[in-house]
């Protein structure tokens, strides 16, 4: 009798994270958070705590998402496979920069990033209901000086709206980037080196 290959859950709506897991041959099912199922079954509150360091913030959110994801396995009577979650944020001048709230916010974020070096932090976390572990990746990205017309065109494309820092390195914004130091996949939203470490910790074969 042939056993089924191991599987995990990915607690993320991000198509980029799905593609990266497929890239390294991980079998997964998407576990999304739904509002309205019950009071607690909604998106994790991503509001930073007062004076919270960005490293602690991004890791806290990844851990919270992994824990919340595993709770949903109980609520929805799903098979108990490990849950992988991630969170990505940017830091510039000590400030946390998340996803833009609207086009004006996206424009303001890109103006701040223009000609500057910022940090991209992605934390990954995994829970199997017994133990929970996390890893964090920190990379640096330098933007060239952006023209106002470039920013307007990019914001009008809609690409920045669901991305931390109002850009996606795998999209049109790649032409804005002079230099990166760190993990390309971490900047995309799922650092594969750290993800592979977590999978190994939970006994998932790669």
Distance from CA of residue 76 to its chain's centroid?
24
Torsion 184-111-117-12 (CA) sign: negative
Task: Find out whether 124 and 195 touch, Cβ atoms under 8 Å.
Answer: yes
**Backbone phi, psi, residue 106, to 5°:** -60, -40
105 is catalytic: no
Catalytic pick among 87, 102, 105, 162: 87
Tell me the C-alpha to C-alpha distance, in Å, between residue 123 and each of 106, 120, 147, 198: 23, 10, 32, 11
Residue with tokens 């000609």: 115
Q: Strand, coil or helix: what is 56?
A: helix
DSSP code per residue over 35-49: TTSSTT-SPPP-PPP
Question: Active-site residue numbers?
Answer: 87
């Amino acid at each position: 009798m042939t056993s089924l290959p191991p599987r995990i859950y990915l607690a993320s709506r991000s198509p980029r994270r799905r593609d990266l897991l497929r890239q390294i041959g991980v079998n997964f099912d998407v576990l999304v958070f739904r509002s309205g199922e019950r009071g607690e079954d909604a998106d994790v509150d991503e509001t930073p705590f007062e004076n919270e360091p960005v490293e602690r913030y991004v890791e806290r959110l990844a851990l919270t998402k992994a824990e919340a994801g595993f709770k949903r396995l109980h609520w929805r009577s799903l098979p108990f496979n490990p849950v992988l979650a991630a969170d990505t944020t940017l830091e510039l001048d000590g400030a946390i920069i998340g996803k833009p709230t609207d086009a004006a916010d996206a424009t303001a974020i890109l103006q701040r990033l223009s000609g500057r070096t910022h940090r991209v932090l992605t934390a990954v976390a995994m829970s199997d209901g017994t133990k929970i572990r996390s890893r964090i990746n920190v990379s640096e990205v330098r933007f060239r000086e952006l023209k106002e017309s470039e920013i307007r065109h990019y914001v009008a494309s809609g690409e920045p709206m669901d991305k931390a820092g109002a850009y996606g390195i795998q999209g049109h914004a790649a032409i804005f980037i002079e230099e990166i130091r760190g993990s390309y996949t971490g900047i995309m939203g799922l650092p594969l080196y750290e993800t592979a470490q977590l999978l190994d910790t939970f006994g998932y074969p790669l």
